[in-house]
């Protein structure tokens, strides 16, 4: 619990809303990503992120203006 309190004070926390969920559904349909992976991208877009780091998604793919980067690609 202390870690959650620490990091939530140190970094902005995004709370998903209905618009995020609807956007995630659209992303999921268009990319065939799971709903939860799509929700991460939807939340990232809502927070104006340019990059999402993920080893599970398609490295180099751009979805709705967000670039996916695999941080372990060269290992």
- Token pair of 10, please? 């140190």
Instruction: Read off the pLDDT of each residue in 3-31 and give the average, rounded to a whole number.
Output: 95
Q: Residue 1: pLDDT above 80?
A: no
Question: pLDDT band at 43, cuts 50/70/90?
Answer: very high
Ramachandran angles phi, psi of 32, nearest 5°:
70, 15
d(C-alpha 38, C-alpha 32), whole Å: 9
Q: Where are the beta strands (DSSP E) in the chain?
A: 51-53, 62-63, 66-69
pTM of the model: 0.86
Question: pLDDT band at 75, cuts 50/70/90?
Answer: confident
Residue carrying structure tokens 């939340």: 43
d(C-alpha 30, C-alpha 9), whole Å: 35
Q: Residue 42: pLDDT above 90?
A: yes
Three-state secondary-structure class, residue 46? helix
């Amino acid at each position: 619990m202390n870690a959650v309190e620490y990091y939530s004070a140190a970094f902005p926390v995004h709370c998903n809303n209905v618009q995020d969920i609807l956007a995630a559904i659209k992303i999921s349909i268009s990319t065939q990503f799971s709903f939860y992976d799509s929700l991460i991208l939807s939340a990232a877009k809502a927070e104006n992120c340019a990059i999402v780091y993920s080893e599970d998604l398609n490295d180099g793919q751009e979805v709705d203006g967000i670039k996916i980067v695999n941080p372990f690609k060269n290992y």
